[in-house]
Amino acid sequence: MKTIEKEISFPKQFKIRVFALLMLLVFAGQASAAEGEGDHGFSAGDMILHHIADAHEWHFFDGHYGTLFLPVIIYSGDRGVEVFSSSRFYDDHHELVPYNGYVLDHGHIARIDGTAITDLSITKNVAAMFLSAFLMLIIFISIANRYKKKTMGAPKGIQSFLEPVIMFVRDEIAIPNIGPKYARFLPFLLTLFFFIWINNLLGLLPGAANVTGNISVTLVLALLVFILTVFNGTKTYWGHIFNTPGVPWWLKTVLPIMPIVEFIGIFTKPFSLMVRLFANITAGHIIILSLFSLIFIFESVAIGPVSVAFATFMYFLELFVALLQAYIFTLLAAMYFGGAVEEHHHDEHHVDPKVEQAQI
């Protein structure tokens, strides 16, 4: 597993070094700008966090009409459900103001009197997920309808583009890693792959939401993989965890190291899925925004073209990373599913390989 993950992972050392260098430049430039201009200097950190964080409004460009204010849905024990626009938190000068006993502070809504509330608002990331789900429904319903009309005809339009991708997920990810029971998991794997890929691409558009760079979203995706893996686990799967074959008996009874390690691995695998997707997408956005920030920090004609050139290079690199991360997440999920539904090995059951091949 570790060898495979290393082979398919993005070169982390290069990305970490570039990220560290950019952060040093950004904060060094930010400090020098703050010394010269006081509180009115450009803050790269605030700009970057504003773009990668979730919010109750969707900001596209400067000006009041460049912001889409999203619905706020709040539940509290004494007031029940309250629904209003997030524009209520802003005055005519776009400054934050309290509204109806609520205050918006750094993207979080709270009651002024300290009463606990449940925020069910449609935030920027939620709206972006609705948008991506709507696009997926349009795309795949149209493809399915075309298959119903012309089952033997040549694919056209978006169908001709996505059919090889769908076949790739089935033939290169699901079947090799899951085996004969792949059909049970294929709809989930296809949905997972296209959901991550589409949101990765949408997140690279100007003013877009950082959906897959939100750890809450990646947590839910990893949790779904965890639930499917655990509930589809066979006796062989659980036997390999609590009674690992080929391991000395004293490592399973007297010092139960292997069962503990294998049991912890049930949770660390989805955790690695969550962190990998979140960290790679967020790091890519931060690097691109940091490169653009250098223009405003140093205010130099020499830095501008260099920053734009590197940012353009990183942007095209992130287009590849968007597809790569969708592939890695789906591939590892398929590997976990395959381990959960794996049957006994040949040497354990002495099954004739020819008979098994015929059955498959």
- Tell me, what's the pLDDT at 10? 45
My answer on whether 194 and 317 are in the same domain is yes
Ranking 22-26, 269-273, 337-341 by mean pLDDT, the lowest is 22-26
- Tell me, what's the pLDDT at 211? 92
Residue 33 lies in a domain: no
Residue 141 lies in a domain: yes
Alpha helices in 38-185 (DSSP H): 44-52, 124-149, 158-168, 175-178
My answer on whether 94 and 209 are in the same domain is no
Q: What's the pLDDT band for 240 if we cut at 50, 70, 90? A: confident
> What tokens were used for 30?
């930010």
My answer on whether 132 and 104 are in the same domain is no
- Tell me, what's the pLDDT at 356? 39
Alpha helices in the chain (DSSP H): 2-8, 12-37, 44-52, 124-149, 158-168, 175-178, 186-202, 215-231, 235-242, 257-298, 303-340, 346-349, 353-359
My answer on whether 281 and 268 are in the same domain is yes
Q: Residues 48, 290: contact at Cβ < 8 Å? A: yes
Ranking 60-64, 157-161, 326-330 by mean pLDDT, the lowest is 60-64
Selection from 87, 89, 88 nearest residue 64 by Cα? 87
Ranking 163-167, 295-299, 354-358 by mean pLDDT, the lowest is 354-358
My answer on whether 211 and 163 are in the same domain is yes
Residue numbers of the domain that contains 220: 125-359
Residue 180 lies in a domain: yes
Highest mean pLDDT among 39-43, 220-224, 263-267: 220-224
For residue 32, pLDDT over 70 is answered with no
The stretch 311-337 carries a mean pLDDT of 93
| Count of domains forming the chain | 2
Selection from 316, 262, 261 nearest residue 288 by Cα? 316
My answer on whether 137 and 81 are in the same domain is no
My answer on whether 214 and 75 are in the same domain is no
My answer on whether 78 and 195 are in the same domain is no
Selection from 201, 220, 188 nearest residue 333 by Cα? 188
The stretch 221-244 carries a mean pLDDT of 87
Strand partners, 110: 103
Q: Which residue has the tokens 């002024």?
A: 112
Backbone angles phi, psi at 72, to 5 degrees: -100, 125
Residue 261 DSSP symbol: H
My answer on whether 109 and 223 are in the same domain is no
User: 22 vs 79, 107, 158, 215, 286, CA distance in Å?
Assistant: 48, 26, 39, 23, 9
- Tell me, what's the pLDDT at 194? 95
Q: What's the pLDDT band for 38 if we cut at 50, 70, 90? A: very low
Residue 184 lies in a domain: yes
Provide, rounded to the nearest whole percent, the portion of the chain with pLDDT above 70: 78
Provide, rounded to the nearest whole percent, the portion of the chain with pLDDT above 90: 35
Where b means 16+ CB within 10 Å and e means fewer, 110-132 reads: bbeeeeebeeebbbbbbbbbebb
For residue 326, pLDDT over 90 is answered with yes
Q: Residues 169, 189: contact at Cβ < 8 Å? A: yes
For residue 25, pLDDT over 80 is answered with no
Q: What's the pLDDT band for 63 if we cut at 50, 70, 90? A: low
pLDDT tens per residue across span 104-126: 887 889 899 888 899 999 999 99
**Cα–Cα distance measured from residue 104 to residue 70, given in angstroms and rounded to the nearest whole number:** 13
Residue 59 lies in a domain: no
Residue 39 lies in a domain: no
Q: Which among 58, 89, 121 is the end of a domain? A: 121
My answer on whether 112 and 185 are in the same domain is no
My answer on whether 324 and 252 are in the same domain is yes
Residue 138 lies in a domain: yes
My answer on whether 138 and 215 are in the same domain is yes
The stretch 172-181 carries a mean pLDDT of 92
Q: Which among 88, 121, 154 is the end of a domain? A: 121
Sign of CA pseudo-dihedral 124, 269, 328, 172: negative
Residue 22 lies in a domain: no
